[in-house]
Structure 1
Amino acid sequence: MTVISVLPGDGVGQEVVPEALRVLDDLGLGLEFDVLDHVNAGAYLATGTALSDDDVDRIRRSDAALFGAIGDPRVTSPDYARGVLLRLRFELDLYVNHRPVSLPAERLSPLKDAKRGAIDCVVVRENSEGLYAGIGGALRQATSHEVALDVEVNTHSGVSRILDYAFGIARSEVCMVDKSNAVPNGGRLWQRCWADARRRHPAMVTRHLYVDAAAMRLVSDPAGFDVIVTNNSYGDILSDLAAELGGGIGIATSVNLNPSTGFGLYEPVHGSAPDLAGRGVANPVAAILCAALMLGDLGHTAEAEAVRAAVARTVEAGRCTPDLGGSLGTAQAGAAIRAELG
């Protein structure tokens, strides 16, 4: 039995994840869902616990996790989000953030050019180090003499393994992005590991860009990339830019992955969107595409492709939510995809 941990979380996560589960149910694959619907902002405000040790153990024992969103206007401390997402990333060593970008309908991209080919790439982001490792501190806080430090952490093993992952999934090219001309210490480490990785994969076409040049190139030629690999903070920025070029944040997917264990935490990128929550208008496509990404990684390749194709057909036909040019609500959009799949 394949067990999927399900964490709807907050805001629109509680609306879009059920649509993804209905799609998975319709496929009849015999998946078992372990729903942790108590992991949310309300529970955190009541108990002070974001994610318990028992919750982590339940998730660890499952085969994969499908996540909705985290975040609530009532919670002002970053400890809540860190206590859920970052705790899972670090404790399960989910060192890959894999963000595929594939345009389902040409009208959705502001920069689609048929002469350049399809927008179809992956941003691979190192997920456990960098500026988000939490190393740093503050001196003389809340005074005019305050000094704040956030330290970027790079390790040889961490950089090497994310580069090898990028080479492992590439179809035609790997583009490594850094800022080694201005960030000398981490930059030198990334450059050495990059040279070593290229020697380990001599048949692959490679390219190196500084992060500012990569941002410009994504805008001028978004179809010109296959796999982009970079550090935690640059990857965070570039993957959101790529998502917007590929149809918008409402259809953007991601997985936090440990390739060694095979465990993945599949998460739509759009967040909890409190301004949309409870209105029944949130776009379920990203959650459903996350489910498809999960299916592919679990070995259900044909079913994953069928879900992606059904999504593309419904979006192309305008049977979708208003952010994609349609007029359907969350449940109606989910039903349209299931009908197309059926």
Structure 2
Amino acid sequence: MSNRRIALIPGDGVGPEIFAQVVKIIEALNRKWNLEIDAKIYPYSAENYLRTRITISDSFLDEIRKNFDAVFVGPFGDPRVPDNRHGREIIGRIREKLDLNLTIYPIKLYADWLCPISGLQDKNINLIIVKENMEYSESLISSLTNQGRSSELAIETKVFTYSGTERFFREALTISKNFGRNRVCLVDKSNVFPSSRLLFQRVLDSVIKEFPELSVNYLTADLALYELLQKPSKFDVIISTGLSGDEMFQIATFLIGGHGLSYSCEVGLDRQILYRVMQNSSPRIAGHDSVNPLGAILALSRLLKQLHLPQESKIVENAVQDLVMQKAVTLDLNGILTTQETGFRIVDFINAS
């Protein structure tokens, strides 16, 4: 049995087309270097949910905890499930089972022409955004009273704990160090939520002492977004929570060419990782062979590094960069390659390496 096992969940819409390229590349890597990477596909999707009324099974969650190095998940979203219940439960239960408390967004511009801001002088974009998943995203106390009356009142309260904040910062700084980064910026909405900033700053000032090689500074989300658009090379690691992290990711992704070139990885204490493509499921173009698979292929490159295959990881990343430099890309980037052609071009690069 292979000692490198990946669970693949292609998801909805264009997901299966994207993951067909991932499988194609894994098979090419296995042939080229006898790697024996075992990539097993699971059917969890809107189609499966509508047929079985099961979002994700307990047995699968137990299996990935015990037997897999990583889970790689595609996009979710299907008009037949308007509330996207299946997608939220699949991601939420995997996070809970693997205790995935933070998300990493690697952001890198692979060619200047991809950046849509033609006047941007600073195009040295290579940073990571680290966002907390569990406490900050889910600890929301809300209430709605007197509905339908003039006295109707809605209250939303976020809860932050010292222990949860300390765990997040310690893991985020460890990841920064492991990525070879040394400049950390905490981004929050302290101009709106001053109490949380006092907690964040006190905890981070304490935890940073364990990482003397790292430096840290603080910015409000509004100022950080402005500076990211003006001088992105200023940022090495951005640590943030909830909506602030999402906002930073959206702007950073815009700068590097869009969601088709982006991915995320979610990490827990056991170091099992959930990889996700960040595209929409786009059911209207499903089956048209036009979706961009490069973000998923870059996620595979990062996954190979996790599996202690640095040479193979670099070759896959170089293959993506080679295509981008040639402007051999899909329709979303004003190119003419199909999804399948993109996968074959990556395989050709691997075979020639």
Q: Which ranges of structure 2 fall in alignment gaps of 5 or more residues?
A: none
How big is each residue's C-alpha offset from its partner over 1:1-52, in whole Å with a ceiling of 9 and x where there is no partner? 2111110111111110110121112111211122112x11022223332112
Number of residue pairs matched by the alignment: 340
How big is each residue's C-alpha offset from its partner over 1:282-307, in whole Å with a ceiling of 9 and x where there is no partner? 00101111111111112111111110
Shift, 1:211, TM fit: 0.6
TM-score, normalised relative to structure 2: 0.90
Selected match of 1:297 from 289, 295, 306: 306
Match of 2:113 in 1: 107
Mapped to 2, the partners of 1:130 and 1:262 lie a distance apart of 20
Selected match of 2:191 from 156, 159, 181: 181
User: What aligned pairs does 1:21-40 form with structure 2 within 5 A after superposition?
Assistant: 21-28=23-30, 29-37=35-43, 39-40=44-45
Mapped to 1, the partners of 2:90 and 2:6 lie a distance apart of 17
Mapped to 2, the partners of 1:145 and 1:115 lie a distance apart of 52
Equivalent AA in structure 1 for residue 65 of structure 2: R
Shift, 1:134, TM fit: 5.3
Selected match of 1:159 from 148, 165, 168: 165
Match of 1:13 in 2: 15
Mapped to 2, the partners of 1:294 and 1:203 lie a distance apart of 26
Match of 1:3 in 2: 5
Selected match of 1:69 from 52, 58, 75: 75
Match of 1:129 in 2: 135
Shift, 1:172, TM fit: 2.8
Mapped to 2, the partners of 1:249 and 1:142 lie a distance apart of 40
Selected match of 2:278 from 249, 269, 285: 269
Match of 1:280 in 2: 289
How big is each residue's C-alpha offset from its partner over 1:211-269, in whole Å with a ceiling of 9 and x where there is no partner? 111111111111221000011221112112111112211110110111x2110011111
Kindly tell me: are residues 250 and 307 of structure 1, through their superposed partners in 2, closer, same or farther at Cα, counting changes over 3 Å?
Answer: same
Which moved further from structure 2: 201-210 or 136-145?
136-145
The answer to whether the 8 A contact 1:44-1:80 is kept is: yes
SS class of match (2:116): coil
Match of 2:122 in 1: 116
Kindly tell me: are residues 149 and 205 of structure 1, through their superposed partners in 2, closer, same or farther at Cα, counting changes over 3 Å?
Answer: same
Q: Percent identity?
A: 32
Equivalent AA in structure 2 for residue 139 of structure 1: T
Match of 2:52 in 1: 47
Equivalent AA in structure 2 for residue 205 of structure 1: S
Mapped to 1, the partners of 2:190 and 2:151 lie a distance apart of 30
Match of 1:226 in 2: 236
SS class of match (1:267): strand
Match of 2:63 in 1: 58
Kindly tell me: are residues 295 and 148 of structure 1, through their superposed partners in 2, closer, same or farther at Cα, counting changes over 3 Å?
Answer: farther
Match of 2:88 in 1: 82
Shift, 1:328, TM fit: 0.9
Mapped to 2, the partners of 1:133 and 1:280 lie a distance apart of 40
The answer on 1:207 being equivalent to 2:217 is yes
Equivalent AA in structure 1 for residue 193 of structure 2: V
Mapped to 2, the partners of 1:142 and 1:341 lie a distance apart of 62
Mapped to 2, the partners of 1:121 and 1:113 lie a distance apart of 20
The answer to whether the 8 A contact 1:132-1:232 is kept is: no
Kindly tell me: are residues 284 and 143 of structure 1, through their superposed partners in 2, closer, same or farther at Cα, counting changes over 3 Å?
Answer: farther
Shift, 1:113, TM fit: 7.2
Q: Which ranges of structure 1 fall in alignment gaps of 5 or more residues?
A: none
The answer on 1:216 being equivalent to 2:226 is yes
